[in-house]
Structure 1
Amino acid sequence: MNKPTCFILFCLLLLSAFSHHGFAQEQSWIRVNQLGYLPQQKKVAVWVSKANSEVKRFQLINSDSQKVVYTNKAGKTFGKYGPFQKGYRLDFSAFKGNGTFYILSDDGTKSPAFKINEQVYEGTADFALRYMRQQRTLFNPFLKDSCHTHDGFTMYASSVGMPDSTRVDVGGGWHDASDYLQYATTSANATYHLLAAYRDFPQVFGDQKQANGLDGKNGIADVLDEAKWGLDWLLKMHPKPNIMFNQIADDRDHIKLRMPGQDSIYGRGHERPVYFIDGQPQQRGKFLNNTTGTSSTAAKFVSAFGLGHQLYQQKDQAFAQMLKEKALTAYQYAHIKPGVTQTVSVKSPYIYAEDNWVDDMELAEASMFGLTQDQQHLNKALNYARQENITPWMIRDTANHYQYYPFINLGHYELAKQGDRSSKKEVLTYYKKGIEQVWDRAQENMFYRGVPFIWCSNNLTTSFAIQCHWYKEQSGDKSFEELEQANIDWLFGVNPWGTSMVYGLPADGDTPIDPHSAFTYLHAYPIDGGLVDGPVYSSIYQNLIGIKLINPDEYAEFQSDLVVYHDDFGDYSTNEPTMDGTASLIYLLSAKESESKKKE
């Protein structure tokens, strides 16, 4: 064969190889955790394809030296899921080195670069705290201005001598999401998670902010400053033993897009309505909500106050004593009428339709034991644990909006730590059974996705990863370690869209840039650290009111009949950040950072 012929043949072969590689890149992708991976823990990427192709092996390649440092088989083939025809879990857990790497599969698909080192979670919990500070009402340190200083006027409190429109001082706390409503149930849960994060992992949090959220050290970890902001507001929402409020404002808030200091939509200047907890159904548009009692919200107050008391005993005895007294009266309030307190809506059908309360009472009883050391409280907690031993969405694989809240049973963890050997074994069995329910679904797809795509699915994902972490910690059983990590990986890019679900984290990653937020939409203010709601079933998305995408869908090729996610201001169902979800994420990230510090 002469030289010109050889050259032409070489060019054709090169073109063929290039074309094949380009086809693979177009039809196949490798999803990685954009934060990176800890060297000693589970490390899995996911190869997915819209074609009916296969891979047998993959390589882990050092980005700097371009040397292959690890090879492995692709393993089990997973079938159709969402927009993809096939997928593989590419496990490189056996590689323990540090550096920056990418994965190359034998079909030519190349992953984005990612890090493996002990620092990948460093500072992430403090980063997410930025969003909590930005959600503050009264004085807002991000805006360096105050808002909602006139809250509020009472509703439904005439039974305690407060006719409708009585003025009360309940200013403070956090806005719930990108609107400016405030709910005691989500705020108390968020406060509890922040306090628990400091209790369990104090070493990971820094001190860069004052109590008011402005720059400057004050000798107190920033996460504890933020938790106290929540506690101070909860104290206002439970001013007397016979008075407890459930929410400030309602869905009339949604009338117009604005910054938080511009509220004047309730007919009383800048005052907003404050809804009293009376244990009875209250307004929900043309209907009434399904409130049955006082327990669910009041019990969350007990837990937040109880844990706050424990953490402040050595820091501020007077404040700690006040929290203890409020925990005791909130406990009494929870028993006024056993049952659940739902939120109120005036114009739309959407509320936090919480439907369970014995889990809240279980945690409250465990908290009361911490306050009193009375064994009866642990006995009562165990009785409540048996009434709802598995959080129902895990079994049902579905739920209404906030129907089972919190999204995991926090009381089981406290009982495992405080109870005797028998009760610990019992509640850990409950945790395991719930995890197994999710695992039965998860093992059928390449993402190990077993959490349902209901509204706020990212909050469920975060909470479920926490349950897996707690089960592993308390039992020593590592059977679900990969499932736990898969849920964390999902939040940071190992998902069909290849995007992180946390605004600005990591800084160099694919993260939300167009969330459903007035801060970003009106003024291009970053909402660093905010966890967005996350993907929903296509069937849910198609039936929601008032959703219209503003821009072309950058993830259009990854949407499916199963599930959708849009990084678009117009999609309030998948791309709106939430305060309570972010607070749970702070706990989870602090747990991961703590694990890395133990190995340094």
Structure 2
Amino acid sequence: MKNKSFLIIALLSISWLLTSFISEKRKQEQRWIRINLLGYPTEAVKVAVWASKTDEVPASFEIVEKETGNIVYTSSHIKRFGSYGPFKQTARLNFSDFKKQGNFYIRANGTTSPLLLINDEVYKGAADFCLQYMRQQRSGFNPYLKDSCHTHDGFVLYGAKAGIKDSTHFDASGGWHDASDYLQYSTTTANATYHLLMAYRDYPQVFGDKQQANGLDGKNGRADILDEAKWGLDWLLKMHPKKNIMFNQLADDRDHISMRIPKEDSQYGKGFERPLYFITGEPQQRGKFMNNTTGTSSTAAKFTSAFNLGAVLFKADRNYARLLVKKAKTAYRFALQKPGVTQTASVKSPYIYAEDNWVDDMELAEVSFNFSGEKVQQKKVTKALQYAGQESITPWMQKDTAAHYQYYPFINLGHYEVAKQEKGKTAASYYKQGIEKVWNRAKNNAFYRGVPFIWCSNNLTVAFAMQCNWYGILSGDTAYTELEQANVDWLFGCNPWGTSMVYGLPEWADTPRDPHSAFTHLKGYPINGGLVDGPVYTSIYKSLIGIKLNEADEYADFQSDLAVYHDDYGDYSTNEPTMDGTASLIYLLAAKEAQAKTPTGHSTFYLGANIRRDSTQKKIYLVFTGDEFGDGGEKINAVLDRKEVKVSFFLTGNFYRNPNFNGLIKKLKSKGHYLGPHSDQHLLYCDWTKRDSLLVTKMQFEKDLNNNYNAMAAFGIKKAEAKYFLPPYEWYNKTIANWSREQGLALINFTPGTKSNADYTYPEMGKRYRSSDEIFKSITSFNENGPNGLNGFILLMHIGTDSRRSDKFYNRLAELITYLKAAGYKLDRIDN
């Protein structure tokens, strides 16, 4: 009897334990901690989101170190928001003040987050990773398939207006397939190309060279992102073959008849040729109806800006650059033929890219004519601002919904470029107005989600994060930094579904695996780096034609009446990758990688050199260079001493070895100024007119630089304490930047915008001569009118000049320092 009673008690205990376990497991399945699966830089805003289907909200949370299991951080910094989507309670868990690097988990009320990474390398290589998708989308020769497709394109439709007979052949092979279908659009290609070019221009240091121009493995001496951008430019040139001819799209929706790996596609068209739709500025077919085309501007203006930026970045290839400049001008004239918007055409279905705005494209086109770096044409800036005023806020930001691609691009690129050229701050203020519209929706939910769930919502999310980032850079206002980061976090898992929206990124976490793509569906090929469309309003999803899920919905618990997302081949509305969205993401990831290397992420790089420090901080870095002249050294030292300012001196080996400067160098060192290298023999590294052409070998570069450091060693200056290097003549290219980095050095250069570096000129130089008064005014003018004033400026002058210059600018140094201090700037060494 006792044994029976014991058995019953034991069984009841086991049952109770099992019930408790199941109950706890179910309870845990009702609550989640969402994070950015890619990780967080140490100095970034770091927030996770608590999401629960119960009323439970934790009072505190902790961070647990993966390797040791130790609790390394505890916080009650929790902001409750209530219900959102499928969740009854949500909250933001802020751990921005946790700076330790490593691998962790967030834990709250028995719920544990996915693996949490914190370090300054979390975005490293992400932009280049996404370039894989762009290469995979290539038409013509496809490097992923190592095969060619669509080589016979195409034949003209609607060409009568230009006197072209329909069915006339034009070579249109190349470019990128637009999404998982094989249509190709001029608008999305031009926008994608511009984003790629802009990414390299703004953040060249993050991109590598592992592919050839054709996309196959193997270095070719040019960053892979430039190879990809040129692939886009080359196709755009084909789409604008003559001054009076421009095509808006290649192929149409009859492409959708089947899913297949791209080959020659003969299911419609003229043999293997697909139709080329001429831009007429008048309505064209949209299924049973006509589209709402009103003019030529929206597409042609995008050509203009892409060509102008391309001409700058490919200027080493003079013939190609000249061709791009020529095409930019003819495209601009084409845009003015009939002001208005060009929409895409369709034959069978009602779905098109229903772009409905064009003044934003004209704004960018106008200001793009100033990209060459020559004298700014103020008329172009004025005209651009006029267009900007007509659409100060990108319209989707003011709405809860919009038609497919109705307001494209999803960010006003022109505002950013105008802001860098205008004298006031009008364009930056427009960005703020748009951000505020989205913030008014976002601030009411824990995910800070203010972007509408329309088709391609992820593309809008990328664009909005870029706008927040640019506004911060331009204004120095950090009010929207957390909002910006929330949108980045959303893309990488801090969303209701807990999944990254980028195929294969990060590789260890939940990312799309069954996208609407023939590559994955038919062949099982990975589409690494592709950004999928993203969640849509449930009402939109239910209204779309031909959607049917092929498998059980693994995210069923997180769908709601608000929005849905499916990692399922059958859902083309939420899980189809897009070429142009991925190109925009590449820019954003490049910015995030570069900015993670600086305290607040607002430094500027050019060709691999840091040319401006943190533009949100009122700090200026005075630097003086010297080679053969040092006549101002004693006076400069005395002024700095009297004004209690520390600066940086970059001196050649010639200068360090010159016995006349021996005492001066010792004084500068003893006063605590930074003393760094400027090359040994003041070599000219690359050609003045063809910057990519090196005039030194790597061996010569390294030997000369080592000699510079040997000369510095005589004064007790070790290489380890002089890692910042300013190139001779302030002239370098990306190869020099790479060689410097291999030496463990950080290449820097002066910040453009003032004429301080012209203090070496003398009257005999003619038009190149700049007086001290002119130089001083250029500095004060930029402070008053430039974006962010002189924040983060590396202001370069010379420690001595030729005797033929009697108007020595260093005689104005005390006045300059007084002015800068009165304006609120802190002056510091380059290494602080």
Say yes or no: does 1:335 pair with 2:336: yes
Aligned partner of 1:128: which letter?
C
CA offsets 1:241-268 (integer angstroms, 9 cap, x no match): 1000000000000011111104112242
Point out the more displaced range, 49-58 or 453-462. 49-58
Aligned partner of 2:572: which letter?
Y
- Which residue is 2:652 aligned to? none
- Which residue is 1:246 aligned to? 248
Aligned partner of 2:442: which letter?
A
Stretches of structure 1 lacking an aligned partner (at least 5 in a row): none
Stretches of structure 2 lacking an aligned partner (at least 5 in a row): 1-5, 600-745, 747-832
What's the offset of the Cα at 1:78? Answer: 1.1
Which of 235, 242, 251 is the equivalent residue of 1:233? 235
- Which residue is 1:369 aligned to? 370
Cα distance between partner residues in 2 of 1:464 and 1:307: 22
Say yes or no: does 1:540 pair with 2:540: yes
- Which residue is 2:432 aligned to? 432
Aligned partner of 1:103: which letter?
I
Q: Aligned pair in 2 of structure 1 residues 119, 14: CA closer, same or farther (>3 Å)?
A: farther
- Which residue is 1:43 aligned to? 46
Q: Secondary structure at the match of 1:577?
A: coil
CA offsets 1:175-234 (integer angstroms, 9 cap, x no match): 000000000000000000000000000000000000000000000000000000000000
Aligned residue-pair number: 590
Cα distance between partner residues in 2 of 1:11 and 1:93: 44
Conserved 8 A contact 1:24-1:108: no
CA offsets 1:81-134 (integer angstroms, 9 cap, x no match): 1100001111110000100000111x2111111210111100000000000000
Cα distance between partner residues in 2 of 1:432 and 1:70: 35
- Which residue is 2:326 aligned to? 325
Aligned ranges 1:45-444 → 2 under 5 Å = 45-105=48-108, 107-313=109-315, 315-371=316-372, 373-420=376-423, 422=424, 425-444=425-444
Aligned partner of 2:192: which letter?
A
Cα distance between partner residues in 2 of 1:148 and 1:115: 43
Cα distance between partner residues in 2 of 1:20 and 1:101: 27
What's the offset of the Cα at 1:75? Answer: 2.1
Q: Aligned pair in 2 of structure 1 residues 205, 347: CA closer, same or farther (>3 Å)?
A: same
Under a length normalisation based on structure 1, what TM-score does the superposition of the two structures give?
0.96
Conserved 8 A contact 2:82-2:91: no
Conserved 8 A contact 1:553-1:566: yes
Larger relative contact order (Cα-Cα within 8 Å, sequence gap ≥ 6): 1
What's the offset of the Cα at 1:14? Answer: 7.6
CA offsets 1:443-489 (integer angstroms, 9 cap, x no match): 11111100000000000000000000000111111100010000000
Cα distance between partner residues in 1 of 2:154 and 2:22: 65
- Which residue is 2:644 aligned to? none
- Which residue is 2:567 aligned to? 567
Q: Aligned pair in 2 of structure 1 residues 478, 158: CA closer, same or farther (>3 Å)?
A: same
Q: Aligned pair in 2 of structure 1 residues 597, 10: CA closer, same or farther (>3 Å)?
A: farther
Aligned partner of 1:527: which letter?
I
What's the offset of the Cα at 1:269? Answer: 1.5
What's the offset of the Cα at 1:419? Answer: 1.4
Aligned ranges 1:468-507 → 2 under 5 Å = 468-507=468-507
What's the offset of the Cα at 1:51? Answer: 1.2
Fraction of identical pairs, as percent: 67
Q: Secondary structure at the match of 2:522?
A: helix
Cα distance between partner residues in 1 of 2:416 and 2:321: 23
Cα distance between partner residues in 1 of 2:273 and 2:102: 55
Cα distance between partner residues in 2 of 1:244 and 1:164: 14
Conserved 8 A contact 1:25-1:110: no
Q: Aligned pair in 2 of structure 1 residues 101, 596: CA closer, same or farther (>3 Å)?
A: same
What's the offset of the Cα at 1:555? Answer: 0.4
Conserved 8 A contact 1:119-1:596: yes
What's the offset of the Cα at 1:11? Answer: 9.0
Aligned partner of 1:462: which letter?
V
What's the offset of the Cα at 1:77? Answer: 1.5
Cα distance between partner residues in 2 of 1:523 and 1:593: 33
What's the offset of the Cα at 1:370? Answer: 2.7
Aligned ranges 1:509-548 → 2 under 5 Å = 509-548=509-548
What's the offset of the Cα at 1:76? Answer: 2.2
What's the offset of the Cα at 1:17? Answer: 7.2
Conserved 8 A contact 1:29-1:48: yes
Cα distance between partner residues in 2 of 1:266 and 1:206: 40
Aligned partner of 2:579: which letter?
M
Point out the more displaced range, 371-380 or 571-580. 371-380
Q: Provide runs of 4+ in structure 1 moved above 6 Å.
A: 7-17
What's the offset of the Cα at 1:289? Answer: 0.4
- Which residue is 1:22 aligned to? 25
CA offsets 1:363-410 (integer angstroms, 9 cap, x no match): 001102335732211100000000000001111222110000000100
Aligned partner of 2:67: which letter?
D
Query: Which of these two proteins has the greater Rg computed from alpha carbons?
Result: 2
Q: Aligned pair in 2 of structure 1 residues 267, 52: CA closer, same or farther (>3 Å)?
A: same
Conserved 8 A contact 2:279-2:342: yes
Cα distance between partner residues in 2 of 1:164 and 1:284: 19
Q: Secondary structure at the match of 1:80?
A: strand
Cα distance between partner residues in 1 of 2:548 and 2:340: 37
What's the offset of the Cα at 1:305? Answer: 0.2
Aligned partner of 1:295: which letter?
S
Q: CA RMSD in A?
A: 1.7
